[in-house]
Structure 1
């Protein structure tokens, strides 16, 4: 798992080295998410890296009945993760990343609940790892790692320390 998280850090390092313009011009989260996915894709050869991907083969990703997450579709049931690393044709879902700008004032709980659902091992499309990143011009202001449907404090601390060592963020 730390190998995959180190790849996220490498992608973040490359992203910040080349995409400062996005923060200077205060572009939207979707543009930032897309550009980050470009750098993440370079770290995961042989895997598909997609933004707002809501499918697994022919099936649409849906949250379990009664989930508290609101979503973008008209029925409010489909999931649109910011960035995923996966294999499209088979249920092999490695990594789901939620990205927020530090200036986003909507409740953080939305993304946290989404990652809990995306990594819940009782859901048929569960991702092995979930990562929440709050990004600002100087770097990552907050991060969390999700495993088995919960925020994993040990991995979150390890990840935050690695971000700090890399010059990318402050300790959580």
Structure 2
């Protein structure tokens, strides 16, 4: 997992080097997510990188019945991860990333629950890794790593340390 997370860090490094305009002009999260995906795609040769991808092969990406995760569609059934790294046809789901702007003061709970569900090995569309990133104008202000349906605290601490070492984490 560290190899994949190092690729996320490399994408963040490129994102911050080239996309400062988005924060200067207070552009919305969807545009930020898209531009991050462009940089992430360069790190994952042989994989598809998509935003708001709601499919698994021919099937719509649905959460298990009774889940507490809210959805974005009018029927309340499908979900839209911000950025995914996957193989569309197989399907093979590697990485799901949820991105928030630091200026977004709504609760992180929705994104955290979504990443737990998306990485749950008992769910048919499980991603191997989930990453939550909270971004401000120059740094990652908060990050979490999810695996096997829960927050992976040791991996989250490792990832945060790598971000700090790369100069990408806000110092406190």
Number of the residue aligned with 2:13: 13
- Give the TM-score normalised by structure 1: 0.98
Aligned-residue offset at 1:162: 0.3
1:77 aligns with 2:77: yes
Deviations 1:62-114 (A, max 9, x none): 00011111111011110100000000011210000000000112110000000
Q: What SS class does the counterpart of residue 44 from structure 1 fall into?
A: coil
Number of the residue aligned with 2:60: 60
Q: Which runs of 4+ in 1 moved over 3 A?
A: none
Change in 2 beyond 3 A, CA 1:104/1:27: same
Paired positions, count: 172
Q: Structure 2 unaligned runs (5+)?
A: none
Q: Structure 1 unaligned runs (5+)?
A: none
Assess if the C-alpha contact under 8 Å between 1:160 and 1:171 holds in 2: no
Assess if the C-alpha contact under 8 Å between 1:161 and 1:171 holds in 2: no
